[in-house]
Homo-oligomer: A and B are copies of this chain.
Amino acid sequence: MRISELSRRSGVPVATIKFYLREGLIPKGEATSATQARYSEDHLRRLRLVRALTEVAGVPLARVRRLLDAVDDTGLGLHELLGTVQYTLSAGEAGEADGEAPQAERVEGLLAELDWRVSPFSPDRRALGRTLEAMDQLGFSPDPGLLARYAEVAHGAAELDVAGIDPDAPRERIVEYMAVCCTLMDRAFASLRRMAQEDASARKLHGRAYEAEERRGDAGAADAAGA
Given contacts A156-B153, A156-B156, A189-B150, contact A138 B180 (CB under 8 A): yes
Are B197 and A158 in contact, CB atoms less than 8 angstroms apart?
A: yes
Are B197 and A86 in contact (CB-based, < 8 A)? yes
Report Cα–Cα, A160/B143, bound state, in Å.
12
Whether a CB of chain B sits under 8 angstroms from the CB of A154 is: yes
Are A128 and B52 interface neighbours, CB within 8 A?
no
Contacts of A182 in B (CB 8 A): 194, 197
- Sample of 16 more A-B contacts, CB < 8 Å, known A124-B195, A138-B176, A162-B200: A11-B137, A78-B201, A83-B198, A86-B194, A86-B197, A86-B198, A114-B199, A117-B202, A132-B188, A135-B184, A147-B188, A161-B193, A161-B200, A162-B197, A165-B204, A186-B193
Whose C-beta in chain B lies nearest to the C-beta of A178?
B197
Q: Give the residue of B11, B186, B194 whose beta carbon is less than 8 angstroms from that of A190.
A: B186
Copies in the complex: 2
Other-chain contact of A158, B151, B163, B184, B199 (Cβ < 8 Å): B199
Q: How far is the CB of A75 from chain B (nearest CB, A)?
A: 13
Q: Please, how many angstroms separate the alpha-carbon atoms of A54 and B86 in the complex?
A: 29
A186 to B199, CA, bound (A): 18
Q: In the complex the two chains form, is A146's CB within 8 Å of B160's CB?
A: yes
Is A77 located at the chain interface by the 8 A CB criterion?
A: yes
Q: Say whether A219 faces chain B, with CB atoms less than 8 Å apart.
A: no
Query: Which bracket fits the contact residues of A?
Result: 35 or more
Given known contacts A111-B195, A189-B154, A48 and B138 CB-to-CB distance under 8 angstroms: yes
Bound Cα distance A127, B118 (Å): 32
**Residue A205 at the chain B interface, CB threshold 8 Å:** yes
Is the pair B160, A149 in contact by a Cβ cutoff of 8 Å? yes
In this complex, the member of A132, A140, A151, A165 whose beta carbon has the largest number of chain B beta carbons within 10 angstroms is: A140
* A101, CB-defined interface residue at 8 Å: no
B192/A151 in contact, CB under 8 A: yes
* A160 partner residues in chain B, CB cutoff 8 A: 146, 149-150, 153
Decide: B138 and A56 in contact? CB cutoff 8 A. Answer: yes
